[in-house]
Structure 1
């Protein structure tokens, strides 16, 4: 992933971590009412992304690599949607649900490692407005 490096992560890697943790896009700037600064959990995530130790960056990037692999497998199941069974092979009717559950489980593990609640896109957000 390309982008400027800030405390161990490129901009692209930060986008992936945010996305996998279930948080919305950061945007080009912090202006506007929906800025990430209005959410404690999102602010915590940004702080962590900018202040992790090198060993923690390495572990986070391992999570990202695993998640990229799992995520890439999900759309490929569409290749078998037209086949219920063939010779000794039988289609797993729950494959999409199983793969999505595995993917979300790893996403939650990443959130746990970073010490942030899963974001709105992952459910059980725990995101609170700062007033």
Structure 2
């Protein structure tokens, strides 16, 4: 029963994380890390797929090994967050909501700026 629950949560996290690519207030990374955690405890097959075959695998492996992001990722992520939040702020007409989005943007950018950046070693590309 626990395996089925973890698989369900893992796949739900994959779906929500994938939606987070398009929706600015839905975070992709925490959902993918949750999916990796659930799959590691319930399905070696899905865990292997997530780490080595999915588009998110490189980033998840890097985070699990170094607790850091690969070079270049931080800048692109910050730029994308600023663009998507700016788009939302531009089209929202409620002043208090613009302020709330601006505060969330500032906090998110500060968090992302504090994340460490570590380069990969060559043997990180081999499945274990």
TM-score after normalising by structure 1: 0.30
TM-score after normalising by structure 2: 0.30
Task: Answer 1 or 2: higher relative contact order, Cα 8 Å, separation at least 6.
Answer: 1
Of Structure 1 and Structure 2, which has the larger fraction of its residues in helix? 2
